[in-house]
Amino acid sequence: MRAAIYNGPRDLTVGERPDPRIQASTDAIVRVTLACVCGSDLWYYRGQSAHDQGAIGHEFIGVVDEVGADVRDLRPGDLVVAPFTWSDGTCELCRAGWYANCLHGGGFGNHGIDGGQGEAVRVPFADATLVKVPGFGHSDETLRSVLALSDVACTGNHAAVSAGVGPGMTVAVVGDGAVGLSAVLAARRLGAERIVALSRNPARQAVAREFGATDVVADRGDAAVEAVKALTGGLGVEAALECVGTGESMATAFAIARSGGMVGAVGAPHDVVVPIDTVIFRNVGLRGGVAPARKYIPELLAAVLAGEINPGRVFDFETDLEHLVDGYDAMDERRAIKSLVRVGAA
Amino acid sequence: MRAAIYNGPRDLTVGERPDPRIQASTDAIVRVTLACVCGSDLWYYRGQSAHDQGAIGHEFIGVVDEVGADVRDLRPGDLVVAPFTWSDGTCELCRAGWYANCLHGGGFGNHGIDGGQGEAVRVPFADATLVKVPGFGHSDETLRSVLALSDVACTGNHAAVSAGVGPGMTVAVVGDGAVGLSAVLAARRLGAERIVALSRNPARQAVAREFGATDVVADRGDAAVEAVKALTGGLGVEAALECVGTGESMATAFAIARSGGMVGAVGAPHDVVVPIDTVIFRNVGLRGGVAPARKYIPELLAAVLAGEINPGRVFDFETDLEHLVDGYDAMDERRAIKSLVRVGAA
């Protein structure tokens, strides 16, 4: 099959990889229809995070092509969305809802597991991992939003859920990438009354407003902190959603959180220092991490199919598998929020 | 009046300080009956944390001696317990329950505010700060437990509450000081089923068992982590309560927390690094800080008066005001868990 091949930093090609085959009776083979490029793929592309040579990509939707003998809930032809991690659904951590930390699971597109940026993927524990998309003849707009559920919409949701966002709350989102914008959408869906988006990019500001941001702060660093405080009676926000993963973004998130508030963090951390004095002396908590997407997908999928949310709005660049690198470059150069990759027919 | 005077590291005397007087109409003057020495006082005593010269001590109970014109709920003769911080009870943070972060509050025994280690204390915002102890003729054992509510029992409770401890949960407590032992008691009261106390001191192990610890681990560092994991099916605990404040204790707390779990931290931090990779890749949250004692006292006081909990059990050394330094030394040399100081008659 044709698939992306990571050879090293700035060296990504599309070539031939072995067709996936059923290896365990709980596997399914999924033909990928839509895939996309994640902000964390850029860390690999730039050489800032390690990645195995070979398959890459962990966000995809597609059609079930073949199932193992013990797969019960899926059959060939089913349209499915894959969370970015696979999980057995039965271990103690899965039962507690922490699917991304499954004792027997892992992520797609690394360490010998097929990537979503390719024509087909072997999915372990298919019944537990994949979520079937009900109905037929979905619009392209709907399918783009379903694709967003594979990672970014769930990751933004995890930031908001981790920070305890609920009705009437005052929230700020640090980061205007696809995850940050998704966190704005999540905060709105969870009932936040005031949502401050930190962004200096007009296109991203516009999406943030569409997703429910009530205020936009274009400053950075100390000026951003002062601006958010000025918007919140000097107190700061009850929930600060950290969706970048740098030391500066984490520092900003803690600085704009009011005493007793929470930082919900989902950015992959690079040189991040948690200000422990803020945790202890201002009672600002920290929670978040790799999102249990499998937990959130059913609820968010229902909202997408009901037309209540449109997380696919984050895709503002489109390419096909053979031109995948264009999608990376558009994001790397910040010309695009997030790149969609058309792979196969539905 | 006679009161403790902090002159600098290892230089604590008891001498004359000005009698406190009503300064604002919401003040009360409290004659101290029982006080005690906090683990955080030791940081000052050892010169590891800065402290103003003058009054010291932030834990006390006593009898109201005089009230300002606008004090409505208290009158001379009332027995009261003071949380270690005073608060107005009306600001946005107090209304959200974050009394220790009151916008107009502060702590006793520093920065020009009278200390509990003295014969009398001016208490700002007396109605909002002090909690009246109902009833008469309480036993010495009961009064010792009421004294413990001024800080240590509430701080241990805050560790457990911050970590979301609830019925049936598996918890571990890092630190066998008075706060750690109080955290064991709190975890038990909140319904934890399995409570692992980390302690290598037989006297403290005994109190931990009395307070509800189901298991004791005497190892430290990596060996302690392995021992806790062995007790929890390899997973670690759902809530790790960090009650020390050192880099090692925080590292241990995160290492013994299972993925998706929480670290509840209340130790005053000294050289603490939060392992951000554990936060993000294992979804282990961190919450805690300076306890909102005023929020917890009513509930814990009711439990003390009902005989359900006996947090005063942590006091295993006793002295009087003139011999206050003996109480510090007994804790500094780890001969005592916590020192009680008899100051005045009830």
The string of DSSP codes covering B55-119 is: -----EEEEEEEE-TT--S--TT-EEEE-SEE--S-SHHHHTT-GGG-TT-EESSSTTSPPSSBS
- What are the domain boundaries of chain B? 2-151+292-342, 155-288
Nearest neighbour of B96 by CB, restricted to A260, A267, A269: A260
Nearest neighbour of A274 by CB, restricted to B260, B266, B274: B274
User: Which residue, among B141, B182, B155, has the nearest Cα to B340 in the 3D structure?
Assistant: B141
Nearest neighbour of A269 by CB, restricted to B96, B266, B280: B280
CA of A291 vs chain B CAs: smallest distance (Å): 8
Nearest neighbour of A285 by CB, restricted to B282, B285, B290: B285
C-beta separation of B284 from B278 below 8 A = yes
Touching B: A residues 12-41, CB under 8 Å: none
User: Which residues in chain A are closer than 8 Å to B170, comparing Cβ atoms?
Assistant: none
C-beta separation of B99 from B125 below 8 A = no
Q: Does the beta-carbon distance from B289 to A281 stay under 8 Å?
A: yes
CA distances A281 to B23, B155, B266, Å, are 28, 13, 9
**What's the confidence (pLDDT) of residue B89?**
98
Residue A11: phi, psi to the nearest 5? -130, 85
Alpha-carbon gap, residue B326 to B319, rounded angstroms = 7
Which residue in chain A has the smallest CA separation from B289? A280
Alpha-carbon gap, residue A219 to A228, rounded angstroms = 9
Mutation pick from A84, A169, A259, A284 vs chain B, by most beta carbons of B within 10 Å, is: A259
Under 8 Å CB-to-CB from A139, ≥6 apart: which residues?
A: none
- Does the beta carbon of A45 lie under 8 angstroms from any beta carbon of chain B? no
Q: Do the domains A153-288 and A2-151+292-342 match in fold?
A: no
- Does the beta carbon of A93 lie under 8 angstroms from any beta carbon of chain B? yes
**Lookup: tokens for A162:** 């981790």
**What's the confidence (pLDDT) of residue A346?**
75
Mutation pick from A93, A249, A283, A290 vs chain B, by most beta carbons of B within 10 Å, is: A283
The strand order across the sheet containing B237-242 reads: A215-217, A194-198, A170-174, A237-242, A257-265, A285-288, B285-288, B257-265, B237-242, B170-174, B194-198, B215-217
C-beta separation of B224 from B252 below 8 A = yes
Q: Does the beta-carbon distance from A101 to B272 stay under 8 Å?
A: no
User: Which residues in chain B are closer than 8 Å to A269, comparing Cβ atoms?
Assistant: 276-277, 279-280
Alpha-carbon gap, residue B154 to B38, rounded angstroms = 13
User: Which residues in chain A are closer than 8 Å to B104, comparing Cβ atoms?
Assistant: none
Alpha-carbon gap, residue A342 to A320, rounded angstroms = 5
Alpha-carbon gap, residue B26 to B130, rounded angstroms = 12
CA of A193 vs chain B CAs: smallest distance (Å): 17
Under 8 Å CB-to-CB from A140, ≥6 apart: which residues?
A: none
C-beta separation of A154 from A293 below 8 A = yes
Under 8 Å CB-to-CB from A35, ≥6 apart: which residues?
A: A57, A59, A60, A116, A117, A118, A147, A321, A340, A341, A343
C-beta separation of B141 from B52 below 8 A = no
Q: Does the beta-carbon distance from A283 to B288 stay under 8 Å?
A: yes
Q: What CATH number belongs to A2-151+292-342?
A: 3.90.180.10
Residues of chain B with pLDDT under 50: none
CA distances A139 to A314, A346, B110, B302, Å, are 16, 12, 66, 61
Which residue in chain B has the smallest CA separation from A278? B289
What B75-80 contacts at long range (C-beta under 8 Å, 24+ apart), as own/partner pairs, is: B78/B132, B78/B133, B79/B33, B79/B132, B79/B133, B79/B138, B79/B346, B80/B30, B80/B130, B80/B131, B80/B132, B80/B133
Predicted confidence pLDDT, tens digits, chain A (346 residues): 999 999 999 999 999 999 999 999 999 999 999 999 999 999 999 999 999 999 999 999 999 999 999 999 999 999 999 999 999 999 999 999 999 999 999 999 999 999 999 999 999 999 999 999 999 999 999 999 999 999 999 999 999 999 999 999 999 999 999 999 999 999 999 999 999 999 999 999 999 999 999 999 999 899 999 999 999 999 999 999 999 999 999 999 999 999 999 999 999 999 999 999 999 999 999 999 999 999 999 999 999 999 999 999 999 999 999 999 999 999 999 999 999 999 998 7
Q: Does the beta-carbon distance from B276 to A269 stay under 8 Å?
A: yes
3-state SS, residue A189: helix
CA of A173 vs chain B CAs: smallest distance (Å): 17
CA of B175 vs chain A CAs: smallest distance (Å): 17
Q: What is the helix (H) or strand (E) element at residue A38, kind and residue range?
A: none
Which residue in chain B has the smallest CA separation from A282? B101
**Lookup: tokens for B86:** 């005073």
Sort strands A285-288 and B338-342 into parallel, antiparallel or unpaired: unpaired
Q: Which fold has domain A153-288?
A: Rossmann fold (3.40.50)
Q: Specify which residues B12 forms β-bridges with.
A: B6
**Lookup: tokens for A254:** 């803690």
Q: What is the helix (H) or strand (E) element at residue B30, kind and residue range?
A: strand B28-36
Which residue in chain B has the smallest CA separation from A286? B286
**What's the confidence (pLDDT) of residue A149?**
98
Q: Give the distance, in angstroms, between the CA of residue A256 and the centroid of all CA atoms in the same chain.
A: 24
Touching B: A residues 267-326, CB under 8 Å: 267-269, 272-274, 276-277, 279-290, 292
Q: Does the beta-carbon distance from A162 to B287 stay under 8 Å?
A: no
**Lookup: tokens for A136:** 């037929």
pTM for this model (two decimals) = 0.97
Q: Does the beta-carbon distance from B289 to A290 stay under 8 Å?
A: no
Which residue in chain A has the smallest CA separation from B242? A280
User: Which residues in chain A are closer than 8 Å to B287, comparing Cβ atoms?
Assistant: 262, 279, 283, 285-287
Q: Give the distance, in angstroms, between the CA of residue A73 and the centroid of all CA atoms in the same chain.
A: 25
Q: Does the beta-carbon distance from B283 to A92 stay under 8 Å?
A: no
For B46-93, how does the pLDDT look when each residue is reduced to its tens digit (9 = 90+)?
999 999 999 999 999 999 999 999 999 999 999 999 999 999 999 999
3-state SS, residue A276: helix
User: Which residue, among A10, A9, A308, A296, has the nearest Cα to A157 in the 3D structure?
Assistant: A296
Q: Specify which residues B72 forms β-bridges with.
A: none
User: Which residues in chain B are closer than 8 Å to A277, comparing Cβ atoms?
Assistant: 269
Alpha-carbon gap, residue A83 to A78, rounded angstroms = 16
CA of B280 vs chain A CAs: smallest distance (Å): 4
Q: Does the beta-carbon distance from A287 to B290 stay under 8 Å?
A: no
Residue corresponding to tokens 């027997």? A104
3-state SS, residue B165: coil
Which residue in chain B has the smallest CA separation from A264? B285
CA distances B128 to B38, B80, B229, Å, are 23, 12, 44
- Does the beta carbon of A85 lie under 8 angstroms from any beta carbon of chain B? no
User: Which residue, among A293, A345, A269, has the nearest Cα to A102 in the 3D structure?
Assistant: A293
Helices A152-162 + A140-148 axis angle, to 10:
50
User: Which residues in chain A are closer than 8 Å to B272, comparing Cβ atoms?
Assistant: 276
C-beta separation of A71 from A28 below 8 A = yes
Alpha-carbon gap, residue A49 to A124, rounded angstroms = 25
Mutation pick from A277, A280, A281, A294 vs chain B, by most beta carbons of B within 10 Å, is: A280
**What's the confidence (pLDDT) of residue B345?**
86
**Lookup: tokens for A158:** 């995890």
Sort strands B106-107 and A338-342 into parallel, antiparallel or unpaired: unpaired
User: Which residues in chain A are closer than 8 Å to B288, comparing Cβ atoms?
Assistant: 279-280, 283, 285
Alpha-carbon gap, residue A179 to A337, rounded angstroms = 10
C-beta separation of B133 from B77 below 8 A = no
Q: Does the beta-carbon distance from A93 to B235 stay under 8 Å?
A: yes
Superfamily name with CATH number, domain B155-288: NAD(P)-binding Rossmann-like Domain (3.40.50.720)
Sort strands B28-36 and B60-67 into parallel, antiparallel or unpaired: antiparallel
Mutation pick from B243, B262, B283 vs chain A, by most beta carbons of A within 10 Å, is: B283
What length does chain A have? 346
Nearest neighbour of B290 by CB, restricted to A100, A281, A287: A281
**Lookup: tokens for B313:** 């059990």
C-beta separation of A182 from A152 below 8 A = yes
The 8-class DSSP code of residue A10 comes to T
Sort strands B85-86 and B106-107 into parallel, antiparallel or unpaired: antiparallel
Q: Give the distance, in angstroms, between the CA of residue B272 and the centroid of all CA atoms in the same chain.
A: 20
Nearest neighbour of B268 by CB, restricted to A97, A274, A280: A280
Q: Does the beta-carbon distance from B285 to A284 stay under 8 Å?
A: no
Q: Does the beta-carbon distance from A280 to B262 stay under 8 Å?
A: no
**What ipTM was reported for this prediction?**
0.97
